[in-house]
Structure 1
């Protein structure tokens, strides 16, 4: 077994060639090896953890053999060609079943990736004892180097494709981000500007002017929230979240959040209930945890239809935990894996015209993980959503 076996296997698997279809480039190498060396069998073999698999083969029908019966598993222990003139007289191979069935001669030149890892061989096999000439040995080594180049070219091409895919994905994310943030900024700014122009150009009574100013104030608050979220996400990208950890009561925190959100719930004719009764002691940053819970409750209100219900609770069965359950529109199975991604907006958000750049749940996750806790979200379309925020008890 090579001393660098884990790294060798990693290099082999990274080449991405195991169990692929035949390719002319490798078939030519096996054919040339057989013809140059004058043997009935020529192979391009790759030695996996428990098998020797043939990427190309001439004069052989089987696709692989067990590694413990493989001659090539000996050849990959170095970078030099391994030649066995007569296997019946070699203690390493004399009792090998293939030798007992007639195999006599073997010569294999290692296929070396990155100048380090012998992942397989270009080898030739015969049923008669023989020895290669020096020219044949040079040719076999050259063919092994050619096989290594072919493997590396395929690896580089695959990696280049993956990088291109990631760049295209980043471009799509960038375009989506710019479009979302542009919309989120322009909408309230346009509203504020429109009402300002009407106030400046018109002669309105006090009540109408006050109503205009109230609309402008709400849109200003919306802008400030967006900017705060963008700044927070930018800070989280560069550094860990700073927390002001104190002893607190999650029951009191849930009560404050539900009280603060009740007016919004009543406006949508949604019932908002706080089911926490007993104190729930915990350690955490009250401001950040309030921010996380408030976002989830407001989110639940936005995605719960008229006549719906939202239940907020806290408990200390095991580790401290807060739960938000609604019977709203729910989240599709396609959206569910991405809801905590930054700038991701579910299809239902666009359908219901819910505002926001798609940062809230990412921020909630960051806040809870900064507390060494976890966020668990389960949802079913048309049934509702449950979010559990579990804090570490340490």
Structure 2
């Protein structure tokens, strides 16, 4: 009996498309709550969910009729929607052999009807789902209503792509701002020197008596001052733009988001997940770029390979230099541990998947995606581990 989906050959590309969007799963409900409500009303179902699915988890970012925020991928119906080009409709979940052992079939949920429409990335890969669910038998939806759900699904992706485009423009603005600052800095010194030289010549009346020369020097000083004022204006303008564009993100906010996302997963295995930050640096602003995806995959992986009643410690810190901030992150678990051979395979990207401590299905995509994301950010990963004594993943990401 098949209880998990068949993994497609393009799963790596699918996950890359999802992570490229750099979604914050804790902050999307307001963006989509009108669409989840609309989907339920159109189909006259009790429940509607909008979710994105990575290698470990279905992240439910908007919901109507059911207060659920995440679920392991193996315990979902939407994992099978990922394999559909158009939609997946199941009239009675209790009679589908893939789900007869799942908790949502029995009390108190008693789910019966399901229809899911895949959410497609810009390159056509399924990265999530819009689904409607009912706890009573429900006849097949009409083609018209299914088409309306597809329109809603396209609107969801359109909003996601719009937000991604805005972030891209903000990043371009930051790069432009850095250029403005460099130009302003580079021209300030030489121009200030010209102004100083002009002042010296203009004030040395014993050596320079010609009115014409003094007029030229005066013009030199005024011209230099004008360029210097322009440099100052560039600096002020670019800093104002940068402050308007930048999303506030720091170690304190980072910790809060990780707690919200991953404490429920840890609780399900009675694992103590302890996330700490260096309070001396917790309010220093950093870039959010890909940090949630990197840390999330590492924590999910640690939960998977840590037995019930185990411990996971996450430490977030910054290393400050004159012109650079480097994020230091450690994820330490009391799990199964790794051999040196396994560590080498992970770092090379050749490690094979394995099941978790309570039989969680291993797909082998989490750590390779961490490596890919780190490469994009010029980051580094090292691993310390011993069999039976847990593992510690060390991450360094410069220029945050």
* Short-chain TM bin: 0.3 to 0.5
TM-score by length of 2: 0.46
Structure number with greater CO (CA < 8 Å, separation at least 6) is 2
